[in-house]
Amino acid sequence: MAMADPVPSQGPDKLRALGIVALNGMFDEMDAEGVLRQAAEDILPADLALVSSFGADSAVLLHIVSRVDPSLPVYFLETGKHFAETLEYVEQLKAELGLTNVIAVVPDPADLARFDPTGELWETDPDSCCHIRKTEPLEKVLSGYGGWVTGRKRFQTAERGVLPHFELTSDNRIKVNPLAYYTHDDIEAYKHRYGLPDHPLYHQGYKSIGCAPCTSAVAEGEDPRAGRWRGLDKRECGIHFDFNGQIAPTRKQAGKTKEMRLFKNGGFMADPWTDWVEALDPAEASYTHVPLDVFVAHREAFIASPHPLGLRVDPGHRVEDVEADMARFSSVAISFPAFGDGRGFSSARLVRERFGFQGEVRAVGDILADQVPFLRRCGIDAFVVANPATRQALENDAFAEVSLYYQPVGTRAEVPVGTRPFLRRALADA
User: Which amino acid type is present at position 394?
Assistant: L
Measure the CA–CA gap between 100 and 21, rounded to whole angstroms. Answer: 33
User: What 8-state DSSP symbol labels residue 430?
Assistant: -
**324 within 8 A of 357, measured Cβ to Cβ:** no
Tell me how far, at minimum, the Cβ of 367 lies from ligand SF4, in Å: 38
* 70 dihedral zone (left: phi>0; alpha: psi -120 to 50; beta): alpha
Tell me how far, at minimum, the Cβ of 65 lies from ligand SF4, in Å: 24
Report the site for ligand SF4 in 300-319 (rule: CB under 6 A): none
Minimum CB distance to ligand SF4 smaller for 49 or for 214: 214
Catalytic position from the list 129, 130, 214, 237: 237
Three-state secondary structure call for residue 37: helix
**398 within 8 A of 392, measured Cβ to Cβ:** yes
CB atoms within 10 A of CB 409: 17
* Segment lying near ligand SF4 (by CB under 6 A), choices 59-67, 189-197, 211-219, 269-277: 211-219
* Segment lying near ligand SF4 (by CB under 6 A), choices 121-129, 259-267, 279-287, 407-415: 121-129
Tell me how far, at minimum, the Cβ of 127 lies from ligand SF4, in Å: 8
Q: Which residues of 117-134 are buried (b: 16+ CB within 10 A; e: fewer)?
A: eeeebbeeebbbbbbbbb
Minimum CB distance to ligand SF4 smaller for 50 or for 214: 214
Count of residues that bind ligand SF4 according to CB under 6 A: 13
Tell me how far, at minimum, the Cβ of 111 lies from ligand SF4, in Å: 12
Measure the CA–CA gap between 362 and 379, rounded to whole angstroms. Answer: 9
Q: Calculate helix-pair angle for 58-68, 84-97, nearest 10 degrees.
A: 30
Measure the CA–CA gap between 40 and 52, rounded to whole angstroms. Answer: 16
Minimum CB distance to ligand SF4 smaller for 122 or for 190: 122
Minimum CB distance to ligand SF4 smaller for 66 or for 79: 79
* Segment lying near ligand SF4 (by CB under 6 A), choices 125-133, 216-224, 350-358, 365-373: 125-133
Three state DSSP letters for 99-166: CCCEEEECCCHHHHHHHCCCCCHHHHCHHHHHHHHHHHHHHHHHCCCCEEECCCCCCCCHHHCCCCCE
Measure the CA–CA gap between 134 and 196, rounded to whole angstroms. Answer: 27
**Interaction mask 132-171, ligand SF4, x per CB under 6 A:** -xx-------------------------------------
Tell me how far, at minimum, the Cβ of 201 lies from ligand SF4, in Å: 15
Q: Which of 43, 35, 93 is nearest to 68 (CA)?
A: 35
Q: Is 129 a catalytic residue?
A: no
From residue 372, how far is each of 375, 380, 415 by CA, in Å? 5, 9, 20
For ligand SF4, the binding residue among 52, 53, 66, 79 (CB under 6 A) is: 79
For ligand SF4, the binding residue among 214, 351, 372, 385 (CB under 6 A) is: 214
Minimum CB distance to ligand SF4 smaller for 69 or for 236: 236
Minimum CB distance to ligand SF4 smaller for 43 or for 138: 138
Tell me how far, at minimum, the Cβ of 385 lies from ligand SF4, in Å: 33
User: Which amino acid type is present at position 87?
Assistant: L
Three-state secondary structure call for residue 270: coil
Nearest position to ligand SF4, beta carbon: 211
Tell me how far, at minimum, the Cβ of 204 lies from ligand SF4, in Å: 19
Could you say whether residue 237 binds ligand SF4 (CB under 6 A)? yes
* Segment lying near ligand SF4 (by CB under 6 A), choices 126-134, 189-197, 200-208, 266-274: 126-134
For ligand SF4, the binding residue among 35, 51, 105, 211 (CB under 6 A) is: 211
- Residues annotated as catalytic (active site), given as ranges: 237
Residues that bind ligand SF4 (CB under 6 A): 79, 81, 122, 126, 129-130, 133-134, 210-211, 213-214, 237
